[in-house]
Chain A
């Protein structure tokens, strides 16, 4: 192979001419070529070339802009050459001459200086560097353990780093070793240089999904931009799951009935493993796994939900065990459809045993239902009080009912019930007692008793009172004298019943008895009257002792 070393022999002034051209290798000493044009005629200019040291043959000749054929060099240094004659009609570039070196070898490398002496103008010096490149070997690729890699590298893990090194031997000057991905330069820094080897280590800090199947190329060129040798390697990558989704709606699972819940995951290479968790704890139900051929995995779990599960979180987790730390989850709250769970309680300041006649009591009904209840009913015993009461705005599951103006008949058990399409729930009842002052039991507020003179008579008084701890006192009202208290020793009490026994002897002993009762609440307002009349006034009525 020949090398052409350019030298500009154009004089700055067109009227001037080249006087002498000297070519030096490495600047000094005897020039390896001379062109003596001092006689002014370029066609007759003297070329001189030194002999190549070992072979003794000339290897240089200087081709100028002369239109004619340059004469072969003459003189003691000359030796026969092969002169390349310009083709007929081809014009060499004017004023740019070339020194042609035949069959370049490594010894010819170096800096050449072309010194051009003009007749008039200052001398110009022109330097050219000759580099001989020998091609490098084909690159060899190693993994991070130093093992040679074939067509396929890996498998690498998504998110983890990747290391490959490319080694090139020989090559002069030292080859440029680069890593490429398609048209993108990844790495042009060479880490290791020994006398015979050049190594470029490639580190990718985090392997991505796009790297699966990507082709990395290592190029070795003697100079940047020169034709290169290359080695390709395809990447194999384990991928984390990309998508996880619970496909089944969990808004209304039926309570007590099995329901199949499906979870789908894709993106994992190889296929992901799926686990189910309920509030963070793994389910060990039988899971059926079906794998598609497009890297989609479906897992199915059978759930039998109870009302307690309402509001708990079900998670489907997809994981590729070959890529640690790369799992994905889809979490959903379970809503279990169930019949309402109802509780009733007092929402009053007073407790259930402190209520008094005339008070009002607020009852609160808490309903836990999914779906929400259609109706809510209030009961006193089994008697329906009301349906569909207004919910409290801040607590949709809580309702209120006010019982006003409590009386003795208000006492008893209160309960509420709610129903939805899953069923009806009824609360345990809450008992209310209402305290009131005594009043005459029905039928005892105004009685007539006939008595015979001299015959003992027993009179009875029955009251209703809460608490039932009652004290009685009697009064006797004769028509002319007014009321007098009846001595207590004539009175017998048994709970809410009081007996009075006496013997009417004279007309004075007939009249109206008043039965007064009182408890912790208060005293009876109007006593229970018993009118004791002489029996003879009622001849048709047999005497009765009541």
Chain B
């Protein structure tokens, strides 16, 4: 339902720029773009999964207010302002939906928001490893091998090939994730 039209208030648009993927350990800068026209800003609020973790209010003292205790969020205050917030050393838990809500000043407090998802990934540092019996077999034998990836998040997709030929899924057992994050 469109916002009630009030005489004298210009429409407010807000849009976020959130990196869709970040590697674990990197810093991430999320931007919130808005256009208040001539209006004065009352607040910019950042939420991760509906929890506020950073707010900017020009009339407050201090203007910037990061919140701690939000899982996976470490705000880099010096590098955050009205139009962006920077997170230090993101972890897997930093994945989520990030929303920026912007409100104009009195009397109208006109508000709008925008959101986007950021996914933090961990790319394996080593190649996958095959373990299994290395000896001679007879035709007709059933041989089983294990393919273990390095630590990764989300889980790696493993693919078998024999002499360069891709092996169909039916010949391999369903992959299992190990608590340390490996796949089999």
| Identity of the chain B residue whose Cβ is nearest the Cβ of A24 in the assembled complex | B111
Question: Which of A20, A25, A75 lies in contact with B4, CB distance below 8 A?
Answer: A25
Measured between alpha carbons, how far is A125 from B3 in the docked complex, in Å? 18
CB–CB B53/A29 < 8 A: no
Known: A50-B6, A53-B4. A122 touches B111 (CB 8 A): no
Residues of B within 8 A of A53 (CB): 4-5
- Kindly state the separation between the CA atoms of A436 and B112 in the bound complex, as whole angstroms: 139
On chain A, the residues within 8 Å of B43 by CB distance are: 20, 117
With CB as the reference atom, state the residue of chain B lying closest to A74. Answer: B107
Q: A26-B1, A30-B9, A123-B55 are in contact. Are A77 and B108 (CB under 8 A)?
A: yes
Comparing A32-40, A193-201, A288-296, A462-470, the segment that makes contact with chain B is A32-40
Does B51 belong to the interface (CB within 8 Å)? yes
Would A34 and B106 be within 8 Å (CB), given that A29-B2, A122-B67, A123-B55 are in contact? yes
Q: Are the CB atoms of A30 and B108 closer together than 8 Å?
A: yes
Residue from the list A29, A48, A115, A122 in contact with B106, Cβ < 8 A: A48
Interface residue total, chain A, C-beta cutoff 8 A: 26
Q: Is A286 an interface residue (CB 8 A)?
A: no
Nearest CB on A from B7, distance (A): 9
Point out the residues of chain B lying under 8 angstroms from A117, CB to CB.
43
In this complex, what residue of A is CB-closest to B108? A30
Q: Is the interface of B mostly helix, strand, loop or mixed?
A: loop
Contacts of B108 in A (CB 8 A): 30-31, 48, 77
Q: Check B51–A46 contact: CB distance below 8 A.
A: no
Residues in A whose Cβ lies below 8 Å from that of B5: 53
Does any Cβ of B come within 8 Å of A495's Cβ? no
Is B171 an interface position by the 8 A CB rule? no
* Cβ-neighbour of B3 out of A30, A110, A115, A123 (below 8 A): A30
- Interface size in chain B (residues, C-beta < 8 A): 26
Chain A residues, Cβ within 8 Å of B52: 122-123
Can you name the residue of chain A whose Cβ is closest to the Cβ of B112?
A28
Taken residue by residue from 106 to 117, chain B's Cβ proximity to chain A (1 for < 8 Å, 0 otherwise) reads as: 111111110000
The CA-CA distance from A90 to B111 in the complex, in Å, is 36
B4 and A22 form a contact (CB under 8 A): no
0 or 1 for each of B1-37: is its CB under 8 Å from A? (1 = yes): 1111110010000000000000000000000000000
A46 CB contacts on chain B under 8 angstroms? 106
CB distance from B165 to the nearest CB of A (A): 54
| A77 contacts across to B, CB distance below 8 A | 6, 107-108
Contacts of A76 in B (CB 8 A): 107
Nearest residue (CB) in B for A119 is B60
Which chain A positions have C-beta within 8 A of B59? 38
Contacts of A24 in B (CB 8 A): 111
Contacting pair B113 A28 (CB below 8 A): yes
Residues in B neighbouring A32, C-beta threshold 8 A: 4
How far in angstroms is the closest Cβ of chain B from A380?
A: 99
Is residue B50 contacting chain A, with contact meaning CB distance below 8 A? yes
Chain A 47-89 interface residues, beta-carbon cutoff 8 Å to B: 48, 50, 53, 75-77
B91 within 8 A of A: no
Whole-angstrom distance between the alpha carbons of A29 and B42 in the complex? 14
Closest chain A residue to B9 by CB distance? A30
CB of A18 to closest CB in B, whole Å: 14
User: What's the Cα separation between A123 and B48 when bound, in Å?
Assistant: 12
Q: Does B106 contact A30, Cβ atoms closer than 8 Å?
A: no
Supposing A122-B53, A122-B67, A123-B52 touch, asked if A22 and B103 sit within 8 A by C-beta, the answer is yes
Residue of B nearest to A46 (CB): B106
Q: Which residue of A lies closest to B52 (CB)?
A: A122
Q: Is A30's CB under 8 angstroms from B110's CB?
A: yes
Q: Which 6 A-B pairs have the closest CB atoms?
A: A29-B3, A122-B52, A26-B1, A123-B52, A75-B107, A30-B110
Further contacts, 5 of them, CB under 8 A, given A20-B43, A31-B108, A123-B45: A24-B111, A25-B4, A50-B4, A77-B6, A122-B51
**Can you report 10 A-B residue pairs in the complex whose CB atoms are below 8 A from each other?**
A26-B1, A29-B2, A29-B3, A30-B3, A30-B110, A30-B111, A31-B109, A34-B107, A53-B5, A122-B52
